[in-house]
Amino acid sequence: MICKKCDTTLPEGSLICPTCGEKVALTEQKEKIKAAKEKTLEIELAQLQKEYDEIVERTEIEAREIENR
Ligand SMILES: [Zn+2]
């Protein structure tokens, strides 16, 4: 995957860009949710929202770990 903010190539499944600090997984998930809303894919939307909450949690944990480095 590529960071949309600074174009750094990141390993698949990255949560936070090490170069600019962008929360890449959250940004990607937001876009998926937006696309599902536009197509009114209710089932997919519910699943994406659930995944989003999980990514928020994981990103917060990773952000804390980066701070402690
Ligand atoms: Zn970046």
Residue whose C-alpha is closest to residue 31's, from 20, 18, 45, 43? 45
SS3 (DSSP) at 9: strand
Mean pLDDT of the chain: 92
- The owner of tokens 């519910």 is 46
4 Cα–ligand 1 center, Å: 7
Percentage, residues of the chain above pLDDT 90: 72
Q: Which tokens go with 49?
A: 């929202």
CA angle 22, 40, 24 (to 5 degrees): 10
Predicted structure pTM score:
0.64
Dist CA 8 CA 37 (whole Å):
28
Residues that place a CB less than 5 A from ion ligand 1? 3, 5-6, 8, 17, 19-20, 22
SS3 (DSSP) at 23: coil
What is the residue extent of each domain of the chain?
Answer: 1-69
Taking only the tens place, the pLDDT of each residue in 9-42 is 999 999 999 999 999 999 999 999 999 988 888 8
